[in-house]
Structure 1
Amino acid sequence: MRIGELAERASTTTRTLRYYEARGLLHAERTANGHRTYDEADLRLLRQIQVLQRFGFELEETRPFVECLRAGHPAGDACPASLQVYRRKLAELDACIAQLQDVREQVSDQLARAVEAMHELATPAAEPGGPQASPRCELTHAPPPMR
């Protein structure tokens, strides 16, 4: 199939296919007149790249999966190098999740303090005419550094 047909079947652009070719992820055969041609195996490689990118993998991280398919394995993740990329990606995701959990705890704590401060403002002072507590706004202070 020609580059336009491959692009259409993979829901991408010919520019993207040329970029993948320049990066060594996709290899086109050339006809006598220089046109690029591809086969079903190329479509399969392209779909593997697309799935991994939807999962958040960088383009270069897809290389072991592509090479695994090119080596004739039934799946792109049937090779040790692909499994290593999965492990690295999971560690990266775990670190992001931990960081988000820390931020969530900080926001939750801040919300609790804000609700408490609003409750204190709504409660009448113990002595009429006595000094009222000034509102606390801890958002004006710099948050603790993220880990």
Structure 2
Amino acid sequence: MRIGELVALTGASVKAIRYYEQLGLIAPARKDNGYRSFDDHDARAVSEIRELASLGVSPQQAAPFLECLGLGHDRGDDCVSSLSVYRDTIANLDRMIGSLSERRIELQRRLNESAERTFTQRSNMTDFTLLPEGLPVPDDDGAAGHLPGMHLPNLVLPTSDGRRVSFDALGPGRTVVYLYPLTGKPGVDLPEGWDAIPGARGCSTEACDFSNHFDQLRQAGAQRVYGMSSQSPEYQDEVVQRLQLPFTMISDESLAVADALKLPTFAAPGHERLYSRLTLIVRDGEIEHAFYPIFPPNTHAQQVLAWLEQHPA
């Protein structure tokens, strides 16, 4: 076959094929007119080189794999010499990952330091228990009226502390799960027009209110308190650490719980679906009470506390 046919068969570029030939990885025959003539062996070699490259094994390291194929083995890594290339490549990747991780940590440190410095300089709102004035109040559209009496779905979800919880088996007694759309953090902008969306603003203030009343909630019969959103566990962990929350967050990035329980959600710029602010009182896997809509969020934990005190288990 000619080089154009080899390109079509393997997906490699003409330049790449000529480079492989320069490295001695393939050795096409020459016709009387001087054109290269490639065969099935060359096509297999080119495909092997490309597959290895996709894994981080450079063409310069591919020779042992091609030699292994040339000996009649079904796979290029059936030979011991190929395995040593794997080990060397893994070691190089580990070094790269370590270096990149160190860079990321330093960049994140500088970002947080700069953002917090800028935030302090430009904003008088340093108390997370406060909210801006004039926020729109969400309407009660009845979207949570069906929840009392429902059982939690059988879903296993990750948490901000690196663990996983069975959502239908949070534990005996009462559990408070407050759902929120998203929390901001230094250096990361909130969606455009966030404050104009009824019930959107106030996730950090709500978290702080639950933190401030955590011991009282426990004394009133809440065995556990969880925050829950569709943000990643890593993002949630940053919030838990920064706000020094005494409880963990549950991450539901696919909004599986929302789908199972038909919970209210909304869209915002850059976010197709977010949880509407809602709090569940769960008792032995069954929803006992639902708070919805929630406003203002910065005093909502006190509302939950009052309900628990008025409805002792």
* Fold agreement, TM-score > 0.5: yes
The residue aligned with 1:83 is 83
The secondary structure found in structure 2 opposite 1:107 is helix
The residue aligned with 1:112 is 112
Contact residue 65 and residue 82 of structure 2 kept, 8 A: yes
The residue aligned with 1:51 is 51
Matched, 1:101 2:91: no
The structure that is helix-richer by fraction is 1
Which segment drifts farther, 31-40 or 45-54?
A: 31-40
Counterpart of 1:47, as a letter, is S
Change (3 A) 1:120 1:30: closer
The structure with higher relative contact order (CA 8 Å, sep 6+) is: 2
What fraction of aligned residue pairs are identical, expressed as a percent?
Answer: 36
- Residues 3-22 of structure 1: matches in 2 within 5 Å? 3-22=3-22
Change (3 A) 1:2 1:114: closer
Higher CA-based Rg: 2
Contact residue 29 and residue 37 of structure 2 kept, 8 A: yes
Which segment drifts farther, 95-104 or 8-17?
A: 8-17
The structure that is strand-richer by fraction is 2
Counterpart of 2:74, as a letter, is P
The residue aligned with 1:29 is 29
* 1:119, distance to aligned residue in structure 2 (A): 4.2
For these two proteins, the number of residue pairs brought into alignment is: 124
Question: Runs of 5+ in structure 2 lacking a partner?
Answer: 126-313
The secondary structure found in structure 1 opposite 2:103 is helix
The residue aligned with 1:41 is 41
Task: Spell out, residue by residue over 1:124-146, the C-alpha distance to the aligned partner (whole angstroms, 9 max, x if none).
Answer: 9xxxxxxxxxxxxxxxxxxxxxx
TM score, norm. by length of structure 2: 0.36
* 1:116, distance to aligned residue in structure 2 (A): 3.1
Change (3 A) 1:106 1:47: same
| Alpha-carbon separation, structure 2, partners of 1:109 and 1:22 | 46
| Alpha-carbon separation, structure 1, partners of 2:111 and 2:13 | 46
TM score, norm. by length of structure 1: 0.70
Counterpart of 1:28, as a letter, is P
* 1:67, distance to aligned residue in structure 2 (A): 1.3
Which segment drifts farther, 95-104 or 26-35?
A: 26-35
Question: Runs of 5+ in structure 1 lacking a partner?
Answer: 125-147
Counterpart of 1:102, as a letter, is E
Change (3 A) 1:109 1:17: closer
